[in-house]
Each structure stands twice: as structure tokens, then as C-alpha cells.
Amino acid sequence: MIIRHSKPIFLADDDLDDCFLFEEALSELPVQAELYTAHDGVELMQMLVASEDNLPFILFLDLNMPRKNGFQCLQEIKSNRKFKEIDVIILSTSFDQDIANELLELGASHCLRKPNDIKELKRSIYDAIVLADESVLPRTLK
């Protein structure tokens, strides 16, 4: 199944290696979408404001970033009526269940542990995009 999107996909992650792997994984999926990357929370929020007429279909947001972290970005996104409908997938190398619950309460669509290999990363990205495309993104994916 090929997924075609008229809106871009945003990735906010300060780790350049993780960004490269994400871009590589996305390029290997049957998804036609443009990826835009921010390397810290301040840059992400500037990108969102600049893209108000063409907001991302889905945002993959790293929890631990400089200048403005994922918590701060999520709160700002979900408190802004222009951005609050964006599906936000939180990425992190590890999650405490209490932190994940707090992020979900703040409006994250899902919390995802960063996979260690590209095959798992591709599956995770694809599953999130398919579910967001169906507008039924559950709060508990693997």
C-alpha cells in the first residue's frame, strides 16, 4: 500500500545520526512525503510558525533536545489552536511509564522508544503514519 500525503512530515531530533537513519528509513517506505527536520525545539517551533498554511501531517518529536525539549514543545503545540491537531509521536531512547503517561495526558498521540535497527525503525514509522492517516492513532502502540 502506497501512502500519498499532501502535507509534510516533521522530525525534531538533535542527534544527527538518528535524523539520518530516520530519513533513510522513511525513503525506503511506500510513503510519498517530504521530510523536514529541526535539530532543537526552538527551530521546530519556528518551522511550525513558518509552515502555518501547510502544517505537518505528523510530527516525530525527540524528548531530549537542547534549547527547548520535547515536553516544552508538546505543551506549546497542544496549547496553540493552530497546531493542536498535529499528531505528535514522542521519540526517546528510554521511557519511564509515568513520563509516558504524562506525555499522553499533554496530548502526545504516542510514545515510541527509538528502535536500535533500521528494520524496526521502518516498521515503527510506517505503523505511525498508517494509523495517523486513518485518523485512529491509538495511545498504545508497541
77-116 residue pLDDT tens: 999 999 988 999 998 887 788 888 888 999 998 888 888 8
Residue that has been written with the C-alpha cell 491509538 in this structure: 138
The x, y and z cell numbers of residue 44, run together, are: 521546530
User: Domain range spanning residue 18?
Assistant: 3-133
Rounded to whole angstroms, how far apart are CA atoms 1 and 42?
35
CATH of the domain at 15: 3.40.50.2300
Residue that has been written with the C-alpha cell 505511525 in this structure: 128
31 located within any domain: yes
142 located within any domain: no
pLDDT at 7: 66
Rounded to whole angstroms, how far apart are CA atoms 14 and 78?
21
Pairing of strands 3-4, 31-32: parallel
Rounded to whole angstroms, how far apart are CA atoms 46 and 121?
27
Q: In this model, does residue 122 exceed pLDDT 70? A: yes
94 located within any domain: yes
Our count of domains for the chain comes to 1
140 located within any domain: no
Rounded to whole angstroms, how far apart are CA atoms 22 and 56?
16
Reported in sequence order, the residue ranges of the chain that DSSP labels E, i.e. its strands, are 3-4, 9-12, 31-32, 35-38, 58-62, 87-92, 110-113
pLDDT at 141: 41
Task: Report pTM.
Answer: 0.86
pLDDT at 32: 79
Q: In this model, does residue 136 exceed pLDDT 80? A: no
Q: Which amino acid appears at position 118 of this protein?
A: I
